[in-house]
Structure 1
């Protein structure tokens, strides 16, 4: 299981009351995306995040441009999407472009981007990571937690 070795902390350990966070979510694969969004919302609520902006984009390919536009106005971005392998190289191109784009946004702006992009071979793998009832993992929660933790760490560095 990919979650093996994950840190054992929760968003309730964080105080994000002074943070402004944007959640950018793709629209494909509604059931999986609903689970990812619910997980991210739960983490942000548990950490008592001060302000949360949610934005939907058509697909995972559009996550980097939306994250880039928002990064200068918020303390952290949570990017959520799902790409499921099909019978063409489209999967590889979209996954690489979204991953590289989100990394570039974070490094260029200094704004943490929580990486909640599921890159799955099957829909079942996505469902198992979406934080739904019966799922083994909650990648939306984990992505939001990572973004908040990093934003708070960087804020402490500024002091």
Structure 2
């Protein structure tokens, strides 16, 4: 017999939630598929599409500042952040990925707001497309689902 308290679980009900999506324009061919997947999943989970506006930023580096502004709003329950950075021949990849990842993590912690992390950081274009509706699913859908579940966990905890 277990003496452990039951786990606190979040359900996947987005009804009544306000979850904007912040998406980079850079690598739009991949990011647009992530956006479509995130929006589709949020609506499947009961979200009103009007409560899930898509806000565009130039690239992944700009995601944290806009996500922070939205996360600070009292009417926002969570934010989905979407982008795609594909490794090139310079260290730029490392700087952008690190800044975006660290920035988004800080936003979630500092604003006590769930952030759905849908930033692809891949070595090749093929890896990116595999994660945007290809062989590895759609990471936009997964980020949307993660933010809804985390919002509900926080409501239940």
Fold equivalence (TM over 0.5): yes
Matches within 5 A, 1:26-37: 26-37=24-35
C-alpha deviation, 1:68, in angstroms: 0.2
C-alpha deviation, 1:137, in angstroms: 1.8
Q: Using the alignment, how far apart are the partners of 1:155 and 1:18 within structure 2? A: 13
Q: How many residues align?
A: 143
- 1:148 is matched with which residue? 148
SS in 2 for 1:115: strand
Are 1:113 and 2:128 counterparts?
Answer: no
Are 1:40 and 2:38 counterparts?
Answer: yes
User: TM-score, normalization: structure 1?
Assistant: 0.87
Q: Using the alignment, how far apart are the partners of 1:66 and 1:35 within structure 2? A: 20
SS in 2 for 1:142: helix
C-alpha deviation, 1:28, in angstroms: 1.0
Structure 1 residue runs of 5 or longer lacking an equivalent are 1-12
Q: Using the alignment, how far apart are the partners of 2:95 and 2:121 within structure 1? A: 11
C-alpha deviation, 1:63, in angstroms: 0.3
Q: Using the alignment, how far apart are the partners of 1:154 and 1:97 within structure 2? A: 26
- 1:94 is matched with which residue? 96
Structure 2 residue runs of 5 or longer lacking an equivalent are 1-10
Q: Highest CA radius of gyration, 1 or 2?
A: 2
Stretches of 4+ moved more than 6 A in 1? none
C-alpha deviation, 1:64, in angstroms: 0.2
Superposition CA RMSD, Å? 1.1
Higher normalized contact order (CA 8 Å, seq sep 6+, divided by chain length): 2
Which of 47, 50, 58 matches 1:49?
47
